[in-house]
């Protein structure tokens, strides 16, 4: 394994192992065209020689812009085989952005997809004097371009072949000069402020991330991956490209960006990677389409979705279920879920991942019900692939296990620090930022998190969104509230604690679920207000709070809570219309209550103005009790 | 040698003179536009060329062949292809099938062979499918390849119709208002396709359209019709300046 420490060396290794196996597939002229490892090897070899012919030096940058197609990846490997560095540019970037990246990276050769992208380089050519050639692989619309700067992909390959005759062995020499510490690519991150930064990522880092990904998500050379996320993004480099080269996973490309969904259905990939938003969108699409479906389809869906949720319950309890349930779940799969998943190319999907942002539990459970277990993938340009779920250990509240190669440390500020062979090598031409990010070998991720007792990494929030207790301890208000809302008995929660001694929460009970629980336990109640102040209910909620508290350090445990006598209401401006809590307003509105909590009172009488929808106002007087989670045992 | 030669063409519907003694020629390698107000006889002229109307007087020569006695499908075999003002496609078929249907004139195997669908018939169908796929690629309609044409937006249907005309492997292309009812972006796309076809296939194109900007931009020559009469002919720059044309059509 030691010998294959760069992307192009891995490619050569795949070629030597199975030259005639399929490496890539691309739909063209309505047919799936297959490219073997031999095709890939030969393209990379001659293109790499062409780069040498054009005068590419070790360490020079090659900018690639285009849709995900075999040529994109071959150009990447060819550049790297010649000792060059990839600079991926996003297809939707305007010429000014292309110019910035091209100049900033000091690139010398551009590889572009088609006329649209070629035009961008021709527009900025005067401003980028180092640009030697523009190689394009789709000649459509370019037949009248006679610019000497342009070179077609086919001609480039020919140039490479003739270069080989005059310089035999040049490809191998350059290939063997490469080492894992060489920079493989510059990945540009937009950065929340100021100019974009270019993360320098070495072959070693990418390969370690890729191997770790494969270890968590075992894939072989018969597995299909649908590559459609921008190839200029590190996610595609770390997972798709690395899985392709280290595991031999087949990359498949859509005919056009518009045909991704249809083409994906035809391929039936075994891996599916989407962001949380896309998973949520797809779930919503299913629900909307079912709403429009024929009566019998709707009926089947409703009945079997319940069976699906039963499956989720069983998995979460770690049970297999009896024969009856196992039969019903299989039936649900065959009758409803397989056809549903088929529509999104998820029928054959074995591994489904999500990452980069938090996803709602509802979405997670919905896909689980359909038989798609979503796994987290946590990583970044700077830190590489850090943590992810193994198939047998999926918990939606965590990011999963920390990978074998990554070392994770939580700083005093609760920042996630990462070390290991998979981290990046610094920002290109930005030593100041590099020093701020890599301190003593640890990458500072700016993410706050902690490691819970199973050893899983948990993401709290961006460091900048954390609140601080009076003693300086940081905590994540939204994370606490989010975790509390996982409970079926808690509808909403608002945490207090900024510049105070400890954390307290104001909780709104879920009237339906708590009411049902109360009935089952023979607890009498009249109204929401009455129910919310029952001691038994406080005990019920305290249990949930203690469960959430388990994951926190002594300092950041929830120490007090109240059950509010009414729901948060957008009509009373407590919530925004998108149901986000308006913190400032709330702290003002309930300042007596907040004061009482931190004063240590057992309860408080509060009066609130209630605005009815018809405009009338009334004053409500209620006694609200203040509880301590550790004392209230149901 | 002109590709298309039209001499003294007259077409009457009862007492209405749709075309009145119209003569012109279309050279190889030119885009010729026909403009004129509504009812000037532009579409009638195309219909006379493609064989939908039989003119009372005059002759149409295409590559020195007199088209007078030929019927529509025979003219199609000569390589005269057209699109229609109001898209005329098989609405129940897919875009792919619509274009493939136009390959009919190039099929060599008979019904019997095809029903066996083996050997020659199979090879032939694969060949034609390849030709169709090249057109689909050329016109950038891959995403709608298998969509039912009736469900497509208007601009896309126009493109499919153009694809069908190309499937004939035309030697001359007659386009009847290919850009009507389109937004600016769709018009630009269509204009680009027209130019691409012209440059790549090296065939003459006769174009009818009301968008003066596009017409003046892409045509080599322009003919102006008014009440069935040809009132002007020339390069776009001259046509724009011509008094007669301004009075008749472009407005004072």
Substitution target in B143, B152, B185, B196 with the highest count of A β-carbons within 10 Å is B143
A140 contacts in chain B (CB < 8 Å):
137-138
**Closest Cα in chain A, distance from residue B133 (Å):** 5
What local confidence, expressed as pLDDT, does residue A357 receive? 67
Q: Which of A29, A141, A256 sits opposite B133 (nearest CB)?
A: A29
pTM of the model: 0.82
What local confidence, expressed as pLDDT, does residue A250 receive? 96
**Closest Cα in chain A, distance from residue B50 (Å):** 30
What is the per-residue pLDDT across A403-456, written as a single tens digit (0 to 9) for each?
999 999 999 888 999 999 999 999 999 999 999 999 999 999 989 888 988 899
Nearest CA among A462, A81, A410, A395 for reference residue A245: A81
Q: Which of B134, B199, B200 sits opposite A29 (nearest CB)?
A: B134
Contacts of B43 (CB under 8 A, 6+ apart): B85, B176, B208
State whether A143 and B200 contact (CB < 8 Å): yes
**Closest Cα in chain B, distance from residue A370 (Å):** 28
% of chain B with per-residue pLDDT over 70? 98
Q: Give me the residues paired with residue A133 across strands.
A: A109
Q: Could you tell me the two tokens for A283? A: 């779930």
Strands B31-35 and B221-226 turn out to be parallel
Q: Which of A29, A144, A262 sits opposite B137 (nearest CB)?
A: A29
B200 contacts in chain A (CB < 8 Å):
143
Q: Which residues of A touch B (CB under 8 A)?
A: 28-31, 140-141, 143-144, 255-256, 258-259, 262
Q: Could you tell me the two tokens for A563? A: 């059950």
Question: Environment class of residue A42 by beta-carbon count within 10 Å: exposed (0-12), middle (13-18) or buried (19+)?
Answer: middle
A262 contacts in chain B (CB < 8 Å):
143
Q: Which of A30, A140, A143 sits opposite B145 (nearest CB)?
A: A30
State whether A29 and B130 contact (CB < 8 Å): yes
State whether A30 and B129 contact (CB < 8 Å): yes
What local confidence, expressed as pLDDT, does residue A633 receive? 64
What's the ipTM? 0.77
| Segment B212-220 mean pLDDT | 90
| Segment B133-157 mean pLDDT | 93
B145 contacts in chain A (CB < 8 Å):
30
State whether A143 and B136 contact (CB < 8 Å): no
DSSP reduced 3-state for A277 = helix
**Closest Cα in chain A, distance from residue B140 (Å):** 9
Closest chain B residue by Cα to residue A140:
B138
B152 contacts in chain A (CB < 8 Å):
none
Q: Give me the residues paired with residue A400 across strands.
A: A457
Question: Environment class of residue B2 by beta-carbon count within 10 Å: exposed (0-12), middle (13-18) or buried (19+)?
Answer: middle
Nearest CA among A500, A499, A463, A467 for reference residue A481: A467
In order of start, what are the domains of chain A with their CATH numbers? Answer: 7-201 (3.40.50.980), 273-347+349-463 (3.40.50.12780), 466-627 (3.30.300.30)
How far, CA to CA in Å, does A126 sit from each of A63, A87, A136, A148, A529?
17, 20, 19, 14, 72
What local confidence, expressed as pLDDT, does residue B121 receive? 83
What is the per-residue pLDDT across B8-32, written as a single tens digit (0 to 9) for each?
999 999 888 899 999 999 988 899 9
Question: Environment class of residue A330 by beta-carbon count within 10 Å: exposed (0-12), middle (13-18) or buried (19+)?
Answer: exposed
Q: How many CB pairs under 8 A join A and B?
A: 28
DSSP reduced 3-state for A61 = strand
What is the per-residue pLDDT across B60-102, written as a single tens digit (0 to 9) for each?
999 888 988 899 999 999 999 999 988 889 999 999 999 999 9
Q: Which residues of B touch A (CB under 8 A)?
A: 96, 129-130, 133-134, 136-138, 142-143, 145, 196, 199-200
B199 contacts in chain A (CB < 8 Å):
143-144
**Closest Cα in chain A, distance from residue B235 (Å):** 23
Angle between helices A361-369 and A295-317 (to 10 degrees): 110
What local confidence, expressed as pLDDT, does residue A193 receive? 54
Q: Write the Ramachandran bin of A99: left for phi over 0, alpha for psi from -120 to 50, otherwise beta.
A: alpha
Angle between helices A37-53 and A170-177 (to 10 degrees): 90
B133 contacts in chain A (CB < 8 Å):
29-31
What local confidence, expressed as pLDDT, does residue A410 receive? 92
Nearest CA among A106, A200, A96, A190 for reference residue A430: A200
Residue B225 has phi, psi (to 5 degrees) of -110, 145
Residue A423 has phi, psi (to 5 degrees) of -80, 165
In order of start, what are the domains of chain B with their CATH numbers? Answer: 1-79+170-252 (3.40.50.300), 93-169 (no CATH)
A31 contacts in chain B (CB < 8 Å):
133
% of chain B with per-residue pLDDT over 90? 60
B142 contacts in chain A (CB < 8 Å):
30, 255-256, 258-259
What local confidence, expressed as pLDDT, does residue A1 receive? 43
**Closest Cα in chain A, distance from residue B26 (Å):** 24
State whether B142 and A30 contact (CB < 8 Å): yes
Question: Environment class of residue A446 by beta-carbon count within 10 Å: exposed (0-12), middle (13-18) or buried (19+)?
Answer: middle
> Is B139's pLDDT higher than 90?
yes
Q: Are A209 and A385 in contact (CB under 8 A)?
A: yes
Q: Which residues of chain A have pLDDT under 70?
A: 1-2, 190-194, 356-358, 577-579, 633-634
State whether A143 and B199 contact (CB < 8 Å): yes
Cα separation, B252 vs B243, whole angstroms: 9
B136 contacts in chain A (CB < 8 Å):
29-30
Q: Could you tell me the two tokens for B13? A: 């519907």
């Amino acid at each position: 394994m030691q010998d294959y420490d760069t992307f192009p060396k891995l490619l050569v290794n795949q070629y030597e192992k199975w030259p005639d196996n399929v490496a890539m597939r691309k739909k063209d002229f309505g047919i799936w065209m297959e490219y073997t490892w031999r095709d890939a090897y030969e393209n990379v070899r001659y293109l790499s020689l062409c780069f040498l012919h054009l005068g590419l030096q070790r360490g020079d940058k090659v900018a690639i812009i285009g849709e995900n197609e075999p040529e994109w990846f071959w150009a990447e490997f060819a550049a790297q085989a010649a000792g060059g560095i990839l600079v991926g540019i996003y297809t939707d970037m305007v010429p000014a952005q292309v110019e910035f990246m091209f100049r900033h990276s000091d690139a010398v050769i551009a590889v572009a997809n088609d006329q649209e992208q070629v035009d961008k380089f021709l527009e900025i050519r005067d401003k980028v004097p180092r640009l030697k050639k523009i190689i394009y692989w789709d000649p459509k619309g370019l037949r009248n371009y006679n610019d000497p700067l342009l070179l077609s992909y086919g001609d480039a390959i020919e140039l490479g072949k003739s270069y080989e005759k005059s310089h035999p062995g040049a490809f191998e020499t350059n290939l063997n000069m490469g080492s894992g510490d060489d920079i493989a690519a510059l990945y540009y991150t937009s950065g929340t402020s100021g100019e974009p930064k270019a993360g320098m990522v070495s072959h070693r880092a990418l390969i370690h991330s890729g191997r770790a990904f494969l270890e968590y998500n075992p894939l072989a050379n018969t597995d299909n991956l649908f590559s459609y996320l921008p190839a200029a993004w590190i996610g595609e480099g770390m997972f798709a490209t690395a899985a392709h080269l280290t595991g031999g996973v087949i990359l498949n490309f859509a005919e056009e960006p518009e045909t991704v969904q249809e083409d994906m259905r035809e391929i039936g990939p075994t891996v599916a990677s989407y962001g949380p938003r896309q998973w949520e969108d797809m779930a919503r699409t299913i629900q909307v389409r079912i709403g429009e479906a024929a009566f019998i389809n709707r009926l089947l869906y409703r009945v079997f979705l319940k069976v699906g949720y039963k499956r989720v319950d069983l998995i979460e309890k770690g049970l297999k279920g009896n024969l009856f349930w196992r039969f019903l779940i299989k039936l649900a799969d065959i009758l409803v879920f397989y056809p549903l998943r088929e529509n999104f190319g998820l029928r054959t999907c074995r591994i489904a991942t999500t990452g980069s942002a938090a996803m709602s539990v509802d979405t997670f459970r919905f896909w689980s019900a359909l038989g798609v277990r979503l796994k987290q993938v946590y990583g970044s340009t700077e830190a590489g692939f850090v943590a992810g779920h193994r198939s047998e250990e999926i918990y939606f509240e965590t990011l999963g296990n920390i990978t074998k190669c990554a070392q994770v440390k939580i700083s005093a500020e609760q920042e996630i620090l990462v070390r290991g062979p998979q981290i990046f090598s610094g920002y290109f031409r930005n030593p100041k930022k590099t020093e701020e990010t890599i301190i003593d070998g640890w990458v500072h991720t700016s993410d706050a998190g902690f490691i819970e007792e199973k050893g899983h990494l948990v993401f709290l929030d961006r460091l900048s969104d954390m609140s601080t207790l009076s003693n300086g301890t940081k905590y994540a208000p939204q994370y606490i509230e989010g975790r509390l809302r996982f409970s079926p008995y808690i509808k909403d929660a608002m945490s207090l604690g900024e510049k105070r001694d400890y954390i307290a929460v104001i909780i709104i009970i879920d009237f339906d679920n708590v009411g049902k629980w109360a009935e089952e336990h023979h607890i009498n109640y009249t109204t929401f207000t009455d129910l919310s102040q029952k001691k038994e209910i406080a005990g019920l909620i305290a249990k949930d709070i203690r469960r959430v508290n388990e994951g926190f350090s002594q300092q950041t445990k929830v120490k007090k809570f109240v059950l509010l006598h009414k729901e948060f209401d957008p009509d009373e401006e407590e919530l925004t219309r998108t149901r986000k809590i308006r913190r400032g307003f709330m702290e003002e509105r309930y300042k007596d209550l907040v004061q009482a909590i931190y004063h240590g009172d057992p309860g408080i009488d509060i009066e609130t103005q209630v605005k009815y929808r018809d405009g009338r106002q009334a004053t409500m007087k209620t006694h609200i009790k203040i509880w301590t989670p550790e004392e209230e045992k149901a | 040698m002109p590709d298309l030669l039209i001499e003294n063409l007259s077409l009457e519907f009862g007492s209405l003179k749709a075309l009145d003694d119209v003569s012109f020629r279309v050279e190889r390698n030119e885009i010729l536009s026909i403009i004129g107000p509504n009812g000037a006889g532009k579409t009638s002229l195309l219909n006379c060329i493609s064989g939908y109307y039989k003119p009372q007087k005059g002759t149409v020569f295409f590559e020195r062949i007199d088209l007078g006695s030929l019927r529509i499908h025979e003219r199609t075999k000569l390589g005269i292809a057209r699109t229609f003002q109001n898209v005329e496609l098989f609405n129940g078929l897919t875009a792919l099938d619509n274009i493939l249907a136009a390959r009919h004139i190039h099929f060599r195997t008979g019904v019997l062979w095809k029903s066996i669908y083996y050997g020659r018939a199979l090879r032939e169908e694969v060949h034609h499918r390849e030709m169709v796929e090249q057109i689909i690629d050329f016109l950038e309609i891959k995403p709608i390849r298998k969509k039912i044409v009736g469900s497509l937006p208007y601009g896309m249907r126009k493109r499919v119709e153009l694809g069908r005309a190309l499937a004939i492997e035309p030697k001359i292309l007659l386009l009847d208002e290919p850009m009507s009812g389109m937004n600016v972006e769709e018009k630009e796309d269509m204009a680009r396709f027209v130019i691409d076809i012209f440059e790549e296939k090296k065939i003459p194109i006769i174009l009818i359209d009301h968008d003066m900007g596009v017409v003046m931009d892409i045509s080599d020559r322009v003919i102006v019709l008014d009440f069935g009469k040809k009132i002007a002919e020339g390069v776009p720059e001259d046509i724009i300046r011509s008094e007669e044309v301004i009075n008749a059509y472009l407005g004072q």
